[in-house]
Each structure stands twice: as structure tokens, then as C-alpha cells.
Structure 1
Amino acid sequence: MGIIIRAIGLANPNLALDQKSALKFANHLSSSRASDPLRARIAAKTGITKRHSVLLEPDEKGNPIQDFFSPPLSAEDMGPSTAARMQAYEGRAYALVQKAVTRCLADDATDALRGLDHVVSCSCTGFASPGIDIRLIQELSLPPSVTRTHVGFMGCHGLLNALRVSAALGSAEPTRILCFAVELCSLHYQYSEVPDQMVANTLFADGAAALLLESRQNNDNESWQLIAQQSNLIDGTNEEITWRIRDHGFVMHLSRKVATHLETHLKSCVETAVAKCGYSLKDVKHWAIHPGGPSILSAVASALDLSDADLAASRSVLENHGNMSSPTIAFILQKLFMQNASGPVVALAFGPGITCEIAIFQRGSALNSD
């Protein structure tokens, strides 16, 4: 019995900044209040056109503005406290999840929710309890017996971990599962001139994704099924990607060595994963690669000998949304599924560890059919 993806719903905040405007914003918040050539070069290399944020509101002319972050009053001023950022998360994350879930259930919410027994949530950019999942259960009028599982603080591959939990929940008997991921990365903007913080400030954005899943035998040729997953830790890389809670938000460190490690180790990990399904790398029709940044995509392409066409969906999502952390992989999968992609589709996402999460999807019931 496998996990079938019945529907995907995606959501972004209503307003976005283009990278040129975001660069002006960053310069405005720098301690020197001056344009930094390094910051400009980093922004130019991201391949991003725009990024959405829950902090943006329209001015009288409809232009996006924000008042959560203010220019530093001194060199010691690091911006809003973590408590203030978590208060903003608690107040704004649910609306984004609600939008994604509404889109996911758009065809027939009443029928979709019939037999739904589990809610699996995922986020690494905020904490609140009672959580978003409880509010969602109450507002959807789901039975109080619906189980809740939260996958927290796992980073960009978190949604793939949530899918693994969902598959385990559905392995015993037929059921339906609502799985969602939400990240408000813009809450964790850092007042820093350190290069890796500049990189994080130019890459990350806000988004949410909801997936309606069903555990049953896949007897049709249209539904997408999660057929296998694999997790790999790369030895000796614990400090190459970190995501730590500090007094003024959560702080990302992304080493330049990440790309090198992926080029060295990724191929053998993916070969092992697809071989368990009876495939070779040449059998993979489409790739959903989490776009941690342009250097990550280039490293994956080098390791797996992928073409520009193989990276097109990932690059498109990065260009139009930025790196939204855990929901991002759903944006890529939806793009591929809407293009009537043939299977298998291999999804890859990376996080602290360095961890490489791999998920393999197949359209239809036959594992080795196109």
C-alpha cells in the first residue's frame, strides 16, 4: 500500500520584493547605511527575480513596505528579538497555511476531508503551541480524534521528512492525511555584514504548501505515488550547514564547501536509492531539486550529469519565489506534475548534517513504466 498524492496547494504572501528593491532594503538596514559592493554581487548571482514576505504591506500607492525591521541605532543593535519574531510567526503563519490548504482542497473539500485521520505539519522558522495544526483541525471541523505529528526544525528537506512520517502513518490501513509545510524565513533577516549572512539574506523567502495524501493501492495511471525514500548523512560535515536559535532570530550558516561535498558524495547516494526501485540514473525522467542556491543546483548537476532541462523546474521556482525552505520542493513537484511529467521523478533536498533526503515518485501503478 503506497501513499498517493491526491492534491497539492501552494501559497505565498500577497506581496513580494524584486531583488533590486530587496538590495535597497538590505543597504538601508546595514550598520553603515551604505551600499556594499559584495552584497550587490551576491544578489546578482542568486538567479532570483522576486521573493515574497509576510512582513510586506501596501502603501497608499500599493507599493510593498514593511515596518518590522528598522535601521540599527548602533553597531550593537541586531534588530528584533527572537521573542518578537516568534510573536510575528504565531500571528501570520496560519493565514498562509490556510491559503495553501484551501487551494489543496479546492475541488471538493467535503469529499477530500472524508476519512482524514492524520495531520502532519512541518516548519523550521517558528514555534507556537497550541500549534497551527490544532487551529486547522478546529476550523476544518475535523474530528477531535485526528492525530497530529509535527516535524520541526529540520530545514529545507523537512517536507520530505513529513512525507516519510505520512507514509508510515498510512502503511497499516487505508487513510487520508493532510500534510503541510510553512516557513516565514523573512522573519529571520540578520543585521550582519558577514558574507554567509548576506547570502542567506538574499536567498530566503516565505511560502507554504499543503498535500492531500491517501494510502491505498494505486490502480490508475494518473495519480502520483511516493514509492521510496532514503536519507544520507555525509560524514564530517556537521558544521557546513547550521540553523541555530540566537537572541535575534534564527541564524543560518551555509559553508562554501557544501557544493564540493555534494559533488563528491551525492551520486553514490542517489544511485543506491534508485537501484532499490529497480532503476538506474538513466531511468530517471525528471528531477525536483531543492534550490538551496545557484551553487547547490550547479553542484547537483555536476554530480549527476544533469542538463539545463533537468534543472528547469527548480530554477524557475528559485527565480520566482526564492528559497522558501521546506515548502519549496512541493512547488517544484507541482510544476512537474502539472506538465504531465512521466515517471520516475526524483526529489532531492539538503540540510544540516549535511543531510541528503531523497524521495522517488512514480505516476501510475507500474513502478518501471513511463
Structure 2
Amino acid sequence: MTTSIASAEELSVLTGLTEITGFAGVGTAVSATSYSQTELLDLLGIADPKVRSVFLNSAIERRFLTLPPEGPGGERVPEPQGDLLDKHKKTAVDMGCRALENCLGSAGASLSDLRHLCCVTSTGFLTPGLSALIIRELGIDPHCSRSDIVGMGCNAGLNALNVVAGWSAAHPGELGVVLCSEACSAAYVLDGTMRTAVVNSLFGDGAAALAVVSGGGRVAGPRVLKFASYLITEAMDAMRYDWDRAQDRFSFFLDPQIPYVVGAHAETVLDRLLSGTGLRRSDIAHWLVHSGGKKVIDAVVVNLGLSRHDVRHTTGVLRDYGNLSSGSFLFSYERLAAEGVTRHGDYGVLMTMGPGSSIEMALIQW
């Protein structure tokens, strides 16, 4: 007995969309300065062997960061929350503008072609939101529709793509952009504890933008066929960004068990994503997984039966940038697009993970 594979048009019915959204271009940007893990240990004056081990065994070589200012003795001085919010605003807007312009250039479009801008960030809170600030900064048509997704964490890029795919289907032929801009330098606490050491060893600054359009026109990249989501309610507190009263600022927390929690549930979400499509895991040619950390990637590889080649761009982005939060998977997609190995008809899976704890996936086809 053979199982038929649904066509792209049939799969679009599963999403409830009358038009299929395609990737038209991608662009990325980072902050001004990068550091190796060894350089960071020296600059931050970290001598604790256990903390140093976390940094040096992270599978990360370099990250882009905006470090705190130097104190009188040359040590890095922890910044008050107000200064961190200012850093987030400046860095997220700057990186976001550059990533957006790079993305539109990749799509062969200009700022005047943009009709919807959806901005994603979790490293600071802004009102007006990032979308409004970027529209003003770049002189984009003020009639451009916009949306902001704030506080959803590392998974939020796919949540945003789901939203913009719906907008795109309702506005065929018009250009929409998902823009993830994460100034992780604005979310650090320097207190020497193992809790913050895990975070401080992992995240980096980065922005990534993806241009999408529907309506049957030619696009450079794949089309989005289906989404699947899963909220692991019993692990709601395993990843969180909340107020640290002792430090008088927000602080990010990662439970040491989170890689195993994500890995244990990845198969459930993938099965739901492929349900009704006639596809098997072996039919998926390309995997773009969030660069959440070495242990997270390992857990996903083991539980989904992937090869190291399958996640080469995921691990490459982690190595060169660290965890870039919501935009990490788009950095991987940019590398895959530049690699030139995809063929017409290939299927791919996008996977992001974040607070909640949550897993998001999307099925795409070239």
C-alpha cells in the first residue's frame, strides 16, 4: 500500500489559506563588536573554573555583543535596567534597519514596496514598538501596516511567520516582512552565579529579516505549506525572563533540563506537522533548527533521528554567533540559500523552541 503525498495546493488547504506564501528574500545584521569566548572570560574577569567551563564547552567560538562600560578599575560595571532598555532600543533599531534593507535588497525590492512589517523582540520592551521606530528611522510609508510580537522568546520568529503568512494570503502580490531583532546584550546580568553564567555564555546580538509574498508570483525561496505548535505546559517555568529582585533588573533563566524537555517533545510536534501530508521524515531534505545551544541541538538530533549534516547550518550559526534568539533560524536559512543545494520540489522543516516551554514548526517546499 502506498501513501500519496499531498500537493502544495492541497497542503495549502490544511492551513486555511487560499494563497501560498513564499520566501522572497532574507537579510541579517549584527552589532558592531564580536568577541571569542576566551576574550569574554578575560574582559568580564571570570575566574571560577565551573563558569569558565560553561563558556569554553558551549560549541561557540564568537559572538557579537555590546559589553557594559568599564569601571574605575577596568572591570565591567553592571548596567541599571534603564540603561539596558536604552541599549536595547538603540541596538535593536540599528540592527533591525540594516537587516531589513539587506532583506529587501535580496528580494530585489525597495522600502517603498513594503506593505506590512512584523517586528519580533524579547530583549527589551518598547512603546511605541520596534516596528514604529524602524518605519520612522527609514522613512517607510507611514501607511505601511505593522505588528509587533514581544516577549515570546526564541520561538517567536515562527509565530511571526505564521501571522505574516496569514496577512500575505489576504493581500496577494503585496510584500510583507518578518523582522527579528534581538539585542541580547541588553538582557544580561553580571553577578557571577551559575544561573546567569549559562545565559551569559550563550546569547549574542543579531537581527534577521524575511520577505514574503503570495499570489503565484515567482519567489527565490520555498513556500510555506503548514504550521504546527506545541506548548509544554508542565514546563512553563523552565525558560523565563522575569524580574530579579536581588539585581533590580530583568534576568533570563534556563533550566538545565530544558534540552531534554524539548527533545522529548520534538517528535510529537513533527508528527503533527506531517500528519495528512503523506510525507515521512525521510522525505524532508532540509532542516533549519533554532541554534538554542549545544545540548538542545544534540537532543533534537537524537530524538528526530537527524544527522550532523542535517543541522550543519544550525551548528554553524551557533559557532559563529551564539544563540541569536528569535532570528537564529533565519541566519541558518540565509546560509542554506547561499549554499545553492536546494532543488525544486524539496521539502524542509523549520523548527524553533522557546519559553512556555514551546516548540514551533513549519513545513516548506521549494
Q: Same fold (TM over 0.5)?
A: yes
Aligned to 1:345: 348
> Cα 1:355–1:333, aligned 2, differ >3 Å: closer, same or farther?
same
Q: How many residues are matched?
A: 342
> Cα 1:141–1:278, aligned 2, differ >3 Å: closer, same or farther?
farther
2-structure distance, mates of 1:13, 1:203: 16
**Residue number among 135, 139, 156 corresponding to 1:137 in the alignment:** 135
> Cα 1:83–1:310, aligned 2, differ >3 Å: closer, same or farther?
same
AA aligned opposite 1:239? D
AA aligned opposite 2:203? F
**Residue number among 151, 154, 157 corresponding to 2:155 in the alignment:** 157
2-structure distance, mates of 1:262, 1:302: 11
Map 1:82-93 to 2 at 5 A. 82-93=81-92
TM-score computed with the length of structure 1 as normaliser:
0.86
1:113 is displaced (CA, Å) by 4.1
2-structure distance, mates of 1:69, 1:320: 29
Using the TM superposition, name which of 234-243 and 147-156 deviates more: 234-243
**Residue number among 47, 54, 69 corresponding to 1:42 in the alignment:** 54
1:233 is displaced (CA, Å) by 1.1
AA aligned opposite 1:26? L
Contact conserved, 2:129 with 2:148, CA < 8 A, in 1? no
Contact conserved, 1:241 with 1:255, CA < 8 A, in 2? yes
Map 1:14-163 to 2 at 5 A. 14-27=32-45, 35-55=47-67, 67=69, 79-106=78-105, 111-163=109-161
Aligned to 2:278: 278
Map 1:288-367 to 2 at 5 A. 288-340=288-340, 341-342=342-343, 343-363=346-366
1-structure distance, mates of 2:207, 2:140: 21
Aligned to 2:176: 177
**Residue number among 232, 244, 255 corresponding to 1:234 in the alignment:** 232
Contact conserved, 1:187 with 1:249, CA < 8 A, in 2? no
Using the TM superposition, name which of 153-162 and 172-181 deviates more: 172-181
Aligned to 2:195: 196
1:27 is displaced (CA, Å) by 2.4
Matched position secondary structure for 1:326: helix
1-structure distance, mates of 2:92, 2:158: 20
2-structure distance, mates of 1:70, 1:360: 53
1:108 is displaced (CA, Å) by 7.5
2-structure distance, mates of 1:134, 1:23: 37
2-structure distance, mates of 1:299, 1:94: 34
Using the TM superposition, name which of 270-279 and 297-306 deviates more: 270-279
1:182 is displaced (CA, Å) by 0.5
1:23 is displaced (CA, Å) by 1.1
AA aligned opposite 1:176? L
1:331 is displaced (CA, Å) by 0.2
1-structure distance, mates of 2:105, 2:362: 26
Using the TM superposition, name which of 210-219 and 10-19 deviates more: 210-219
1:328 is displaced (CA, Å) by 0.8
1:325 is displaced (CA, Å) by 0.6
What does the per-residue CA deviation read over 1:281-328, in whole Å, with 9 as the maximum and x for residues that have no partner?
111111111121100011001100111111211110000000011111
Aligned to 2:261: 261
1:101 is displaced (CA, Å) by 1.5
Aligned to 2:4: none
1-structure distance, mates of 2:307, 2:71: 40
1:68 is displaced (CA, Å) by 6.3
Q: Tell me, which stretches of 5 or more residues in structure 2 are unaligned? A: 1-18
1:210 matches 2:213: no
1-structure distance, mates of 2:277, 2:72: 52
Aligned to 2:22: 4
> Cα 1:72–1:195, aligned 2, differ >3 Å: closer, same or farther?
farther
1:71 is displaced (CA, Å) by 7.7
Give the fraction of aligned pairs with identical amino acids, expressed as a percent. Answer: 25
AA aligned opposite 1:16? S
AA aligned opposite 2:37? Q
Q: Tell me, which stretches of 5 or more residues in structure 1 are unaligned? A: 29-34, 56-65, 364-370
> Cα 1:336–1:249, aligned 2, differ >3 Å: closer, same or farther?
farther
> Cα 1:207–1:108, aligned 2, differ >3 Å: closer, same or farther?
closer
2-structure distance, mates of 1:92, 1:149: 19
Aligned to 2:6: none
AA aligned opposite 1:196? R
What does the per-residue CA deviation read over 1:106-126, in whole Å, with 9 as the maximum and x for residues that have no partner?
2576x4445532111000001
2-structure distance, mates of 1:116, 1:303: 40
2-structure distance, mates of 1:103, 1:289: 22
Aligned to 1:59: none
TM-score computed with the length of structure 2 as normaliser:
0.87
2-structure distance, mates of 1:161, 1:185: 19
1-structure distance, mates of 2:263, 2:71: 37
Q: CA RMSD in A?
A: 2.4
